[in-house]
């Protein structure tokens, strides 16, 4: 991840740079630093970073107000400050993390992990939205177990269930179909087309989700055809991040 550090105190910039270089060089690289928050606005636009480490209390322009000048940001933000009082504002600004100086290596590691996860989710959302804009233009062939070939639009598929080395496809206006293809193959082919792997055995079309339900400690999504598909706990956060923006 490309990173920018913005802090009016140079020793804070130097300390964070050293931590990133010595302990996290494999996941993060500092491409720019700045101790002038006013100049930092243009620096962010020019450098297009993945992550901005941003101090809050700075002369002339604080970090919160600086972010407000970039409403359509594509980067993640980690606030670095000596004060805890800005935590609520940081949450409102959708920051990936909030580190109170002096912070530890473990704190920084957690922040980088959160940034990486959020950036990955945003990439998936971007792909989903791009595909949604081209809905109806993509068609592909599915060969059934008996050799019949169907030419379908991804929007016709509600969800797909794994059946060992086979898969059952549930359609909007066709009978369900058993095909000699693994769910992994469908996942690779359809994830760019608004599909999401909610469980090791289930791939759903996000445009056909009607509701989410939690019953008896288990989570489900209900599909347009009334089917309830289990949502694995480890996939729950990613599911909500993506579904909110469709």
Interval 37-46: pLDDT, tens = 999 999 998 8
Residues near 112 by beta carbon (within 8 Å), at least 6 away in sequence: 1, 24, 27, 28, 51
Q: What is the pTM of this model?
A: 0.54
**Section 96-117 average pLDDT:** 93
**Section 225-242 average pLDDT:** 90
**Section 116-139 average pLDDT:** 66
Q: Is residue 164 predicted with pLDDT exceeding 80? A: yes
Spatial distance between the Cα atoms of 127 and 183, rounded to a whole number of angstroms: 20
Spatial distance between the Cα atoms of 140 and 154, rounded to a whole number of angstroms: 8
In the CATH hierarchy, which top-level class contains the domain 140-243? mainly beta
- Which residue has better confidence, 99 or 129? 99
Q: What tokens appear for 184 in the block?
A: 């992994």
Where in the chain do CATH 3.40.50.2300 domains reside?
2-120
**What's the confidence (pLDDT) of residue 78?**
95
| CB distance 51 to 76 below 8 Å | yes
| CB distance 170 to 142 below 8 Å | no
| Pick from 179, 186, 152: nearest CA to 163 | 179
Strand positions, DSSP E, the chain? 2-6, 29-34, 51-54, 76-81, 97-100, 140-143, 149-152, 157-163, 166-171, 177-179, 195-199, 202-205, 209-215, 218-223, 228-230
Where in the chain do CATH 2.40.50.1020 domains reside?
140-243
**What's the confidence (pLDDT) of residue 73?**
86
| Pick from 50, 244, 3, 29: nearest CA to 128 | 244
Which range in 136-140, 177-181, 220-224 is most confidently predicted, on average pLDDT? 220-224
Spatial distance between the Cα atoms of 5 and 82, rounded to a whole number of angstroms: 15
Architecture of domain 2-120: 3-Layer(aba) Sandwich (3.40)
Instruction: List the beta bridge partners of residue 24.
Output: none
Whether the link from the prior residue into 102 is cis, omega within 30° of 0, is yes
Q: Is residue 137 predicted with pLDDT exceeding 60? A: no
Angle between helices 10-23 and 105-133 in degrees, nearest 10: 80
Q: Is residue 129 predicted with pLDDT exceeding 80? A: no
**Torsion angle, CA of 99/61/59/11, rounded to 10 degrees?**
40
pLDDT of 44-82, one tens digit each?
A: 988 899 999 999 999 989 999 999 888 778 899 999 998
């Amino acid at each position: 991840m490309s990173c920018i550090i913005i802090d009016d105190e140079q020793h804070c910039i130097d300390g964070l740079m050293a931590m990133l270089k010595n302990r996290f060089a494999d996941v993060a690289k500092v491409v720019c630093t700045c101790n002038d928050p006013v100049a930092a606005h243009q620096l962010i636009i020019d450098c297009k970073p993945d992550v901005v480490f941003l101090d809050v209390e700075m002369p002339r322009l604080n970090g919160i107000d600086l972010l407000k000048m970039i409403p359509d940001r594509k980067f993640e933000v980690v606030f670095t400050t000596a004060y805890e009082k800005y935590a609520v504002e940081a949450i409102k600004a959708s920051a990936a993390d909030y580190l109170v100086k002096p912070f530890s290596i473990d704190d920084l590691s957690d922040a980088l992990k959160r940034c990486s996860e959020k950036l990955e989710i945003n990439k998936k959302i971007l792909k989903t939205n791009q595909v949604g804009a081209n809905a109806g233009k993509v068609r592909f062939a599915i060969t059934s177990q008996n050799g019949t070939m169907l030419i379908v639009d991804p929007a016709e598929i509600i969800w797909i269930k794994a059946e060992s080395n086979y898969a059952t496809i549930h359609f909007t206006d066709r009978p369900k179909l058993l095909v000699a293809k693994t769910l992994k193959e469908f996942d690779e082919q359809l994830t760019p087309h608004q599909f999401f792997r909610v469980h090791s055995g289930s791939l759903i079309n996000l445009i056909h989700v009607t509701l989410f339900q939690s019953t008896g400690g288990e989570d489900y999504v209900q599909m347009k055809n009334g089917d309830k598909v289990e949502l694995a706990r480890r996939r729950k956060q990613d599911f909500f991040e993506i579904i909110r923006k469709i």
